[in-house]
Chains A and B, each alone.
Chain A
C-alpha cells in the first residue's frame, strides 16, 4: 500500500489561519501533573494529529480543548485555550456553548441505545431542545458527510444498536457533525475498528476537513501520515508530565524529525 503523505509534502491550503490555540496548557489530576506547557495551534480546515505513546496525556489534552477535562473529579488545568481568539476558560463562557462549537468523537462508539438511528443523528438537537427547519434534510446531510447514508437510508427508524461497530462509529461522527461544530476532536476513533471501517472513517475525515478543523489522537503512525497535515508528538518521560517534543507539518515530522526521540517513535523503535 502506498502512502502518499509519506512520499510528497502536502500542498498548503489557502487562507489557513489559527482556529484553536492552546497556550501554555498544563493539567493535573489531583496532585499528579499530566501535562506541562503545551502550546499548539490548530489551523482551520486542517487535520492535526496528536501522536505519542500511551499515557502521555494526548487524550487529556484533547478533552481540555472542549472543556470535557473538568468533568473528571479532581481535574484542573493552567494556561489558556483560544477559540478564534477568545479564551474558552473565561468565566463568562459556558461549557455547553464550547462543546457545541468544538465537537467530540470518542474512542469507543457510544450511540444512544434508546434512540433510533435517525434520532441519534439529531440527538444534539433533541437533547438540548433546539429546533431545526428541516430535520430529515439534516439527518441525510449529516449521514452523507459521515459516509453512512447509503448503508442506513432504509432503516433510519431501527435502534442504533443494530449497526456494526464501524457503522456505529460513523453514526457518532454524523451525530457530532449534525450540531455543526467548527472543530471536531477525535480520540482514537479507529482503535476498535477493522481495516475497512478504518478506511471509511479516514475518508470521512478527509472530506469533512474542508469545512471543519479536525484534531485526531491516534496510535497508528500510518493513519497519522495518511490523514493529517500537521502533527504533534507528545511524550511523558519517566514519571514526568507529558510535553510536546516536536510539532509541525506531518511530512516534516515524519521524514526529517529534528528530535531523535521523534525519529525513534515514528520509525517504530519504541512506544
Chain B
C-alpha cells in the first residue's frame, strides 16, 4: 500500500513534466517499434512459409522441367517425360507414388461468346488429392475417365466468374484449345501467385487427355513425388537428381534441364534470408534501446541534480533512502513501459502499412515479440534507472536542503 503510494508519487512527478518524460521515452519507443515490426514480419514470413509448405506437402519432392531458377511452367522444356516418372518410381527407394503434371499457360478457353486465357493443368486422378486441388463443388475425375482420356474438366473460381459470368457452369461445355470439355467440378480459391498468373483462373484436366488430345505433347512439366520416408527425403531428392541426370545424359558440371525441390529445402533457403534480415534489424532495435536507455539515464541524472532540494524536502518529511530510490526507479520503469506500449502500437502499425504496400510481405502480431518488448523495456528501465535512483537516494538531506 505504502509502496503503491510511492509509485504513484513517482508517476505524478512524471505527468507534471511531460516534455521530460517524452524525451526519456523516445529511445524505448523507437527500439520497441522496430523490434515489434521486425517480429511481426518475421512471424508473418514464417506463417506464410508454413502455409506454402502445407500446400506443397512436407513429404513431397517436386521435379520441374527446365533448369536454373524455379519455373512454374513459364518456360517450356520438353525433356522431362512420363518414362522419367516411371523410372523414379521403380528405382528410388521409399517412393510411394509419382504424379506427372503438365502446365500449359496462356491457353485459349471459350464458352459460347466469352473467351479468355487460362492455365491448363493436366494431372492424374491421384493428383486431385493435393490441397491445391480442393473442390468447392462437383466432383473430380477418376481412373477410368483418365484411362479413357475423357474430356472432363475442373475450373478455378476466377475463371468461373470470367467465362461463365459467375453462373453455375456445372455440366456446361468449355472449349479448351478448341477441344470440347464438360465442366464437372469447381475448385476452391487458392489466391496464390503462380508464375505471374492467377492460379484461380485454371482448368484442371486428366493428364492423359491433355497430352494426347489437347496439346499432343510427349513431355510433362513436373513430377510430384510422394515419399513414404520423411527422414530420408533430402537423400531421396539427391538420388532422384542423379537418376534424372543420368537419364538425360548430363555430365557432371553441366547445367541440368530440370530442378528438384523439397519443402524443407525451399523453407530453409527462404527462412535463412528472413532470419538474416531479422537479426540485422533486431540488433539495430537493441542498439536503439541501449542508446535510448543511456539518454534516459542522463536526463534522470540531470533531473536528480535539479531536484536536489525537492529530494531534501521529501527526506525531511519522512522519506527514507529506500523510498527515494523506489520513487525514482518507478519513474524510469514507468517511462519505459509507456514507451513500450507506444512502441508496440507504432511498430505493428508500421508493419501493417508495409504489408499493404508490399502484399508479398505478410505480418502477424508476434506474441514472442511482445514478450521480448516487455522484457527489454523492464530491463532497460531497471538497468539505466538504478544509477540515478541510487544517486538520489544517497543525497544527504542536510546538503540537499541547503
A binds B: no
